Amino acid sequence: QVQLVESGGGLVQAGGSLRLSCAASGRTFNSYTMGWFRQAPGKEREFVAAISWRAGSTYYADSVKGRFTISRDNAKNTVSLQMNSLRPDDTAVFYCAARVGPYWSLPYKYDYWGQGTQVTVSS
């Protein structure tokens, strides 16, 4: 069982940066693939980034490549998403998620979810 709590969302101007963090409970955190997803109003939840349990592999949606960086610290049970060059279309609720097993970009493949944190990018 894993419980996830996101933090770090907020309001930022276009071109700015935010860093999201996800704190995970559970003794086997380092065995989970961790992902970040987002959901804008009226849209489906979409994949943003993921990182393998050994942090050796990272994966990104095309829309965020070169702007976002996912990282994890297994010793601290945290996963982070550094978001740079933010755009108004990045506005969404961002969710941290965990799954046992290898990377998938599909939300339904993830077993545990946080409550989400709002990111709003103004133009």
Q: Dump pLDDT digits (tens) for 24-48.
A: 997 676 788 999 999 999 999 999 9
Average pLDDT of the chain, as a whole number: 94
SS3 of 30, please?
helix
SS3 of 84, please?
coil
Question: What pLDDT was estimated at residue 17?
Answer: 98
Q: What is the mean pLDDT of residues 107-118?
A: 96
Alpha-carbon distance of 31 to 93, in angstroms, equals 26
Q: What is the mean pLDDT of residues 72-91?
A: 95
Q: Are 60 and 48 in contact (CB under 8 A)?
A: yes
